[in-house]
Amino acid sequence: MTEKTPAVDLRYLSLLWAVQEQAPDIARMHAALFAEGWSEASILQTLSHPGSVAMIAGAGTPRQIGGFALAQAAADEAEILSIGVIPGWQRQGVGSKLLQGVKRAAIKSGAKRLYLEVAQSNAAAIALYKKAGFDETGRRKGYYAKAGVAAEDAIVLSCKI
């Protein structure tokens, strides 16, 4: 897996169901993308949940993984827990394809609404979600707290699916 520049043609991107053997790759990507990356154990726990909707974005031979989406469905709702795309693959439609894949999987599970939370400063992600039909439905004040930095609000977004 390359963190900076893909050595693959992203026109041939595939979305695949994530399996437990990919937990180390997903955990590495998560740690590289987020200040408080999830551990391999956390990823494994998410992947083994009965309502898990987990996908990876891959391309090339051998397949390189450049993005992931982790979500859970319960009853008629689903929630995106985390979605990420490595820097060299960003702004090339990978996040949008992952989001579309999660939406399709959530619909198949019976969900009618999809939720997520995003840091208020993450303008690129907010633009992606709004373009995909998400609307702000709430805020969680000071949700993202980091040592030595002012806590940041989480924007709660949802869309009907």
CATH number of domain containing 148: 3.40.630.30
Per-residue pLDDT tens for 55-66? 999 998 778 999
Backbone φ and ψ of 124, nearest 5°: -65, -45
Q: What is the pLDDT at residue 3?
A: 47
For residue 140, tell me if it sits in a domain.
Answer: yes
> pLDDT category, 9, cuts 50, 70, 90?
confident
For residue 5, tell me if it sits in a domain.
Answer: no
For residue 136, tell me if it sits in a domain.
Answer: yes
State yes or no: is 129 an active-site residue: yes
Catalytic pick among 79, 115, 117, 144:
117
What pTM does this model have? 0.89
Per-residue pLDDT tens for 28-69? 999 999 888 899 999 999 999 999 999 999 998 778 999 999
For residue 70, tell me if it sits in a domain.
Answer: yes
Q: Which amino acid is at 16?
A: L
For residue 34, tell me if it sits in a domain.
Answer: yes
If we measure between CA atoms, which residue out of 48, 87, 76 comes closest to residue 158? Answer: 76
The number of distinct structural domains making up the chain is: 1
- Structural domain boundaries enclosing 124: 10-160
Q: What is the pLDDT at residue 73?
A: 95
> pLDDT category, 4, cuts 50, 70, 90?
low
- Give dist(CA 89, CA 101) in Å, integer: 17
For residue 103, tell me if it sits in a domain.
Answer: yes
For residue 1, tell me if it sits in a domain.
Answer: no
For residue 2, tell me if it sits in a domain.
Answer: no
State yes or no: is 117 an active-site residue: yes
Catalytic pick among 79, 115, 129, 144:
129
Per-residue pLDDT tens for 72-128? 999 999 999 999 999 999 999 999 999 999 999 999 999 999 999 999 999 999 999
